[in-house]
Structure 1
Amino acid sequence: MNVSSPATGAVPRLTELAHGGGCGCKIAPGVLAELLKRTAQSPVFPNLLVGSETADDAAVYRLNDEQAIVATTDFFMPIVDDPYDFGRIAATNALSDIYAMGGKPLFALALVGMPINVLPHETIAQVLKGGEDVCAQAGVPVAGGHSIDSVEPIYGLAAIGVVHPQRIARNAGAKAGDVLVLGKPLGVGILSAALKKGRLDDAGYAEMIAATTRLNRPGTTLATLDGVHAMTDVTGFGLLGHMLEMCRGAGLTARVDYTALPWLQPALELAQAGMVTGASGRNWASYGADVELAAGLPPIAQALLTDPQTSGGLLVSCAEGSVDAVLNCLRDGGFDRAAVIGTMSEGRPRIVVA
């Protein structure tokens, strides 16, 4: 990686300093599962209501009958070159885990790793400003954090929230007959790959930023609705990966209508032109054995369905009678392209896409 320090003149693009970007940096789900098998089993803590057993979005610890703490952390390398946008996307993505559990964020701590002698200090300050502005939009402070001098730029948050112990939205509670609703359009990984190769126009960039910086705040309300049985957010493992976690947690089969999936405007065209990420292939290698793709789907469908999403949308499993309430909640929150994309049914944990 050839980069120049500010002292020598040329300042590198943020994405030039990173081997990957956004949630596409995640360790592949199959590799992660193997690593976790090698760790010791934690002792039982009765007040730990949600831990790592179902790969949920955050940990939840009960304080009393009315309050539980929601805790999460999320950070990654830059998905865009604009430092302010990088900070905004990373902070939005981290807070999403609180909303996906039905929680309300309370405060955040910044996690910062920057090549301090390579990037101008103003660039780094703009990353931090982006994160702080998103947190202010969410009504929470960045109350501190930790920083290191690293080879690659890294930014994210540790976020703390609160939820009622009886209103936790887990990823494992789906029921047969449920309808699946997706809050945001897909295709962020494809657009980011195109951006890195200079193939994303201004309109496509604006659409990507609008999607990745929209807070998933409706999650707090969705968790209080009768008939909402499970919820997660779609991030680095792609739609299929996070949906499969939902299937495994509930012991059910998900059936997805490919034609109902919402896409960011340039995503399909860019995917056809080869703008796909290496992470989509790693995702498929990790869980493709539990996915059935109908013969009539386009050849690019596999890469699209496993495309890593950065700051993606909420995936909600709800009773059929609650679909209108879920869609109204999302659309009232500014998620105009929220859509019904499938159903949950009896069967072994797998996904069927037709």
Structure 2
Amino acid sequence: MTTHTDPPIRLTSFSHGGGCGCKIAPGVLADILKKSTGFPVPKELMVGIETADDAAVYKLNDEQALIATTDFFMPIVDDPYDFGRIAATNAISDVYAMGGTPIMALALVAMPINQLPVDVIGRIIQGGESICAEAGIPIAGGHTIDSVEPIYGLVVMGLVHPSKIKRNADARAGDKLVLGKPLGVGVLSAALKKEALDEAGYRAMIENTTRLNKPGKALSDLNGVHALTDVTGFGLLGHALEIARGAGMSVRLRMSDVPLLPGVEQLAQQGFVTGASARNWAGYGQDVVLADAITPTQKALLTDPQTSGGLLVSCAPESVEDVLALFHREGFAQAKVIGEVAEGPARVEVQG
């Protein structure tokens, strides 16, 4: 892991938002997609845009389906190498969230060429390359442009057996929900941008955002795992709501069981919350119900945009021990059961 030092150039100063907090708010995105023109869907397209899943999946033959996804954003940290690592980890995660194995990536690079030194841009790309090497995939090409704000990300392709695809829409009544990583990345990034994040907080943020969601591949082999997604820019509530809507079920969460990164509750209480948190809440509509006991700070954490967040697994109760054991073996020590799926209206309900 790289050591955090104060770079001569603050990458975050070039962007109006950082990481997955740059995402268009869920409500606005829904309106945009609602007005888009429909098109013929080939029978080989197994997963498209219908349930806001993590990636598209196209059946190649009886043994293989191609996973295709892309993700890119503006700097969430100032260290260029760390920014590249975070962006690459986040992009590759969507393949794992479908239960697949990544096979190749293409780099997307947009930089203010006249404002950022070439060596800084090079370090961003090197950071991305280091994560791709960890995932065992090449960066086989890409595209670069001159841009007002720095943007970096990947197009990632993967493979999965057609019968082992894990969509976000296949949760079943009685399932337990397991979250693989703690929440709070958006809060830490807000504190970092205002120079209020200490060294320990920065290390926790980098460790969380650069940990590849490799358990996704093994989870696809478990029959008891019914649905899978990763928690990113729409916050835990937003991605849980996608599961609820896709399955036509109620998702019930317990705030007391949700794992948090160290110090984020205190930082959120001090006002270090991203603007995306409020936009996320406004975009959920009437389909998220919070118990009276949920505090404003807890609400901010539940809506906090996660960059390179954890996998959210919907599995049969008898598979919970296997799922948790798999996470723990892969180094996800804070993976935890945070709720369940039940018959009822397609919404998310949160208890204290």
TM-score (norm 2): 0.97
Equivalence for 1:216: 213
Equivalence for 1:347: 344
Q: How does 1:77-156 map to 2 (within 5 A)?
A: 77-156=74-153
User: What secondary structure is seen at the aligned counterpart in 1 of 2:296?
Assistant: coil
Cα offset, 1:299, TM superposition? 2.5
User: What secondary structure is seen at the aligned counterpart in 2 of 1:200?
Assistant: coil
Aligned partner letter, 2:97 = A
CA contact (8 A) 1:11 1:119 kept: no
Residue number among 44, 52, 55 corresponding to 2:41 in the alignment: 44
Aligned partner letter, 2:311 = L
Residue number among 19, 24, 42 corresponding to 1:22 in the alignment: 19
Structure 2 gaps, min length 5: 1-6
Q: 1:37-67: per-residue Cα shift (whole Å, max 9, x none)?
A: 1111120200000000000000000000000
Equivalence for 1:331: 328
Between the aligned partners of 2:44 and 2:227, the Cα distance in structure 1 is 21
User: What secondary structure is seen at the aligned counterpart in 2 of 1:300?
Assistant: helix
Q: How does 1:1-354 map to 2 (within 5 A)?
A: 12-354=9-351
CA contact (8 A) 2:233 2:307 kept: yes
Count matched residues: 345
Equivalence for 1:6: none
Between the aligned partners of 1:44 and 1:264, the Cα distance in structure 2 is 41
CA contact (8 A) 2:9 2:78 kept: no
TM-score (norm 1): 0.96
Between the aligned partners of 1:197 and 1:63, the Cα distance in structure 2 is 48
Equivalent pairs: percent with the same residue?
66
Q: 1:158-201: per-residue Cα shift (whole Å, max 9, x none)?
A: 00000000000000000000000000000000000000001100
Kindly report the root-mean-square deviation, in angstroms, between the aligned alpha carbons of the 2 structures: 0.9
Q: 1:6-34: per-residue Cα shift (whole Å, max 9, x none)?
A: xxxx9541000000000000000100010
Between the aligned partners of 1:74 and 1:56, the Cα distance in structure 2 is 13
User: What secondary structure is seen at the aligned counterpart in 2 of 1:289?
Assistant: coil
Aligned partner letter, 1:39 = S
Between the aligned partners of 2:88 and 2:64, the Cα distance in structure 1 is 24
CA contact (8 A) 1:252 1:345 kept: yes
Structure 1 gaps, min length 5: 1-9
Between the aligned partners of 1:54 and 1:207, the Cα distance in structure 2 is 32
Equivalence for 1:3: none
User: What secondary structure is seen at the aligned counterpart in 1 of 2:284?
Assistant: helix
User: What secondary structure is seen at the aligned counterpart in 2 of 1:284?
Assistant: helix
Between the aligned partners of 1:256 and 1:11, the Cα distance in structure 2 is 43
Cα offset, 1:303, TM superposition? 1.1
CA contact (8 A) 2:11 2:75 kept: yes
Aligned partner letter, 2:147 = S
Between the aligned partners of 2:8 and 2:113, the Cα distance in structure 1 is 12
Cα offset, 1:291, TM superposition? 1.0
Aligned partner letter, 1:137 = E
Aligned partner letter, 2:346 = P
